[in-house]
Chains A and B, each alone.
Chain A
């Protein structure tokens, strides 16, 4: 079945540091890939997505590239801010309209000033 593996946290960085959160997946066919963010006490918000190989999703300074050859979708940001502190979830969708998302376990990021 489909699955997502992402690096375990917590990750603690200083402000303006470079961020990478690794995510790899196992899936049949051609899934869509997502990064969701969950700020303290809130639900999930879509951060970015990519629907086919070599697509790059980007939003709020975050980027992730859909790499089919390495089955990866690593999240990166060049300079993190304290406000980026949250839990980040990598997820995939099998592609049909009724397919739920499969989530990774989440990575907690703490950015300190």
Chain B
């Protein structure tokens, strides 16, 4: 089945530094990937839609200069948390949908999620 790899799975950094999180679709191509953020004991909040070859689409309230998204290829999207602060500490999860999934296809409309990256900013 479709697999999405996310790296690193956890990272601790000092306040003011930048952290990059990678999201790779291992056995399929994904023109579009999605980045979610999950606060403790809360649901997933969509941060942005990452589009290969173009700018990401950010949800209202998400700072695009704080959370830089680069979708460099059909299998890789990166999220960089710039000048991280303790309030940026969270669980970040990426997801992808296989290109070309059609209605009736087993993978139609199914998002595959990475295992998540836990960021702790000291």
Contact = CB atoms under 8 A, between A and B. Distances in A.
A42 interface: yes
A105 B44 CA distance: 7
Interface in B40-97: 41-44, 46, 49, 93, 95, 97
A101 B94 CA distance: 12
B113 A44 contact: yes
B2 to A, nearest CB: 10
Contacts of A34: 110
Contact of B109 (A32, A42, A45, A102): A32
Interface stretch (A20-28, A72-80, A91-99): A91-99
Main secondary structure of the interface of B (DSSP, over half): loop
Contacts of B101: 97
A44 B49 contact: no
A112 interface: no
A42 B115 contact: yes
A32 B102 CA distance: 13
B110 A46 contact: yes
Contacts of B95: 44, 100-101
A49 B111 CA distance: 11
Contacts of B31: 98
A38 B42 CA distance: 12
A43 B115 contact: yes
B25 interface: no
Interface of A: 32, 34, 36, 42-46, 49, 51, 89, 93, 95, 97-106, 108
Given A43-B113, A46-B111, A100-B34, 9 more contacts: A43-B114, A44-B44, A44-B113, A51-B103, A95-B109, A102-B46, A105-B42, A105-B43, A106-B43
